[in-house]
Structure formats: structure tokens, C-alpha cells
Structure 1
Amino acid sequence: MSILPDSRYEKIHTGSIIETKRLQAILEEKDIPSIVRDDNESAKLAGYALGSPDQSRLLVDKEYLVKAKHIVEIALEDFSNNALSDEELNNLSQQEAPKVTINRITRTAPEKKKPELSSGRLLLYVFFLGLSIWRLSPLLQGEELPTLRIVLSGGLIVFCSYMLITHFMNKSKA
């Protein structure tokens, strides 16, 4: 029975992809051309699921069919003879894994020094501080100012004052 109509390939084995690929490698060592057909993997690549993951097929050129069947029978018999028994599998699962000690390396973080403010930046802070105070000075004479002007100038006064104070406090500590 042929899998593919009018094909020169014939199915000789159906099983898991691992087993099928191993058999294909054995046949390739004997210079027998073969194809692995995995409908489940093809369906996943196409975007839908179909079939069982243990249903990959090994197809062989009809010219090598008898020789390939003989090799596959011997290989499958060898697989089953060399398989681990249930008792051996239980013994392996009962064994403790070797203990590995992990030494942690800790590094102390270097002290972070705040970068010094350049003289140009200091002058800029002083300039914006003076400008903001000047922009808010009409409030002292009782004039009304737009809210946005008060908020922006007040924010600049607070920010520039903070930067200048922290700069000179750090200078005095050093």
C-alpha cells in the first residue's frame, strides 16, 4: 500500500518522530534513501492541529524496500533489547543528583559622588532664580498675575534654590 499515489516510496514504519528519525539515520548509513512524513508537524506549521505526535511515517524507495524492511526489523529489535527495564528506570530515578555548591561573589558598590556643577550651570541657576523672582515681584505690589506665570516662576524658584543649596552644602562637606 502506497502512502502517496503514484509514488516510488513505500511506508515501512510508523512511530514516534524520535524513533523514526533514528531509523532514517540508520538507513542513510546503509545508503538507502528515505523520507520521514510527519503530518502532525506539517499541520502545526500550517496553523492547525491534526493527528497524533507519535504517528510519523518512514517511507523508503521501492527499489530498496526489502533491504530496508530487514534493516528496520533488526534495528527495532535492537531498540527493544537495549531498552531499560522498569526496575532500572526506578533505580535511576531514586539516585540523588550530585550536590553542587554555588559560591556567591558579592561586590561592594563604589561610593557614588554627585558630579560637581560647572560654573556655567551655577550661573544659569542664579540667573533663572533672579528672573523668576523678578517675574513674581508684581505680586508684592498687589497686582494680579496669570496662574501659569505664578506656577512656572514658583517652580523655577524652588528648583534653582534646591540645586544651589545642595551644591554649596556638598562643597562645605568636602
Structure 2
Amino acid sequence: MSGPKIACIGIIGKADNPLHISLFPPYLSSTIEFSFLLNSCLDIFEIQQKQTSVDQDLGLLHAIDERLAAYGWLTTTGVKLLVIIDLIGQSTPNDTENQKGSGRTGLKNPDLKPVFRALQTAYIRLLQNPFYSPDDHVPTVRTAPPTLGSLQIADHKFIAKVKHLGDTWAPGAPVA
């Protein structure tokens, strides 16, 4: 079995505005569903934030179903990092053979800390870019709501790092 894998990574601004959402196979066409899931995590973020210490790692926010679970991390600037994990992953033809006699192990919070740290580091590097203005990504009061694309992070290095993390992460494996 391939094991748990990242299904979605979301970067949400301090005004609860989506800054970046990446989907990973087999969920590439599930944009609306994952936008809803990420949005539903924001209330849980707020509750967790009030009930925990200053620790950035909020851990498991909620299990969406038996397959998907949402984990959260809060930056010191109020930006929220969300990772939705597919706990089952993609199955292979040998899965039924490999699962005989072996219990499935759950995902532990420390397995995701390197991912969150790498995401936070990528975001910090983005903020250090003199051509990136985070104020351009904060919604303001307008007569018409801004389009999602106008507020999304478009930095190619940042997007590539997020994609690399989502494509290569595995529990217990080092994050590059």
C-alpha cells in the first residue's frame, strides 16, 4: 500500500482569504469540495486557537471522513496553513496481499511538522521577495467582490515548493 498522502494544501490569509490552494492526484478536479473543506476548517482554527497555547501546530483539526483528515498550522502573522491528508492513499494491486496480518497505522502529528515547517519557510521566503506585496492579497471593501485569482499567490518558486511537498511527502520521510 502506498500509505497516507497529501490530497490538498491550502494557505489562508489572516483575513480568512484563500492565498493558495493546491490539489494532488487523484483530487485534481475536486476544487469546489476542497474549497468547502478548507473553509470549514477556519471555524475549527478559531476554536483551537482560543483553547491552545501559543504553539503554531494545531494538529488534527478534524477527520472529514474515514479517508480524509485536516491538519492545521498557524503562523505568527495569522496566516493559516492547512494540509488535508488522504489517510488511505492510492492502492496498488498487491495491497490485499500486504495487508494480511498487518494493522493499518494512523498518522501522527509529528509526521506533518516537517511539511508545515517547509511551507512556513517557503512563505517566509515569499515575503522576503521585494517584488511580492502581501497587502495585494488582502481583500478590501469594494462594490464587487474580488475574483479568487486576483488574490492568489502567483509566485512560481512558492507554487513549485508547495507542489513538490505535496507530491513527495510520505510519513517518516525527510522533507526536502
Shorter-chain TM-score: which interval? under 0.3
TM-score by length of 2: 0.21
TM-score by length of 1: 0.21
Higher strand share: 2
Which structure is richer in relative contact order (CA contacts within 8 A, separation 6 or more)? 2
Higher helix share: 1
